Amino acid sequence: MQLKFENVKGYKTYENAVKRGQQLEDDLKDACSFRWVVISLPNGRFTPMVLANDSVQPTWVTHFPHCCIGN
């Protein structure tokens, strides 16, 4: 299965995507435990992608701007 993220805007630099991922981690640390990675989007930009697991509800992540979730 190929995950598609055409509607994710992302960040111009990898470093800014890392900062956003760290901010997501801080924002959700009391709600759940999760892993995340920075991915390159089809448009050449970068975004943090939360890796879904048993403790992550997709709705906890999807309302945050400039990130995506994969399972």
Quickly list DSSP for 1-50: -----TT---BSSHHHHHHHHHHHHHHHTTT---EEEEEE-TTS-EEEEE
Q: 42 lies in a domain?
A: yes
pTM: 0.77
Q: 2 lies in a domain?
A: no
Q: 5 lies in a domain?
A: no
**Tally of structural domains, the chain:** 1
Domain containing residue 54: 14-70
Q: 9 lies in a domain?
A: no
Q: Which residue has the higher pLDDT, 6 or 15?
A: 15
Q: 50 lies in a domain?
A: yes
Q: Which residues contact 23 (CB under 8 A, 6 or more apart)?
A: none
Q: 65 lies in a domain?
A: yes
Q: 48 lies in a domain?
A: yes
pLDDT tens per residue across span 30-40:
777 778 899 99
**Cβ atoms 37, 45 nearer than 8 A:** no
Q: 40 lies in a domain?
A: yes
